[in-house]
Amino acid sequence: MFGHLTDFSHSRTHGEALGFFLFHTILLVGLSAVIGPVLGILGLNLVGDGVSTIMTGVTVNTMIGTLFVMIVSSLILVGKKLTGDLLSIILTVVGIYVTYEVGVLLGMLVVSYLTTIKGK
């Protein structure tokens, strides 16, 4: 279930995709818990007028999650040589959009499904 977690070219079963989802979602939570405050300490106000509120933190975490999903999806597409497959590209775009609009969990589900597609 938790094998080949960093091998983005590996075609996974549904159980392995669940392990991929759990591992990378927990990794994303850890990264955003570290990166968000570091950006605040550095004074990099990505949103708003510099006044820190809870919504500023949510927006920054959404941006970090969207970037993470974009990077992992791209690594999967390149690793499996699916950059010419229209369905895989559409799934990547849908995953990124869903991550930004709805939430990271739903976006990571799309990315986990992308890992089950056989590469070329």
Contact by Cβ (8 Å): 88, 114: yes
Q: Is 43 exposed, middle or buried (0-12, 13-18, 19+ CB in 10 A)?
A: exposed
Q: Is 85 exposed, middle or buried (0-12, 13-18, 19+ CB in 10 A)?
A: middle
Report the predicted TM-score, pTM, of the whole model to 2 decimal places.
0.83
Residue 94: count other Cβ atoms within 10 Å of its Cβ: 15
- Domain ranges in the chain? 14-114
Contact by Cβ (8 Å): 110, 98: yes
Task: Write out the DSSP string of 18-44.
Answer: HHHHHHHHHHHHHHHHHHHHHHHHHT-
Could you tell me which residues come within 8 angstroms of residue 60 by beta carbon, excluding any fewer than 6 positions away? 36, 39, 40, 46, 47
Predicted local confidence at residue 5, as pLDDT: 74
pLDDT digit string (tens) for the chain, length 120 residues? 666 777 788 888 899 999 989 999 999 989 888 887 777 777 666 555 655 666 677 777 888 899 999 999 999 999 999 999 899 999 999 999 999 999 889 999 999 999 999 877
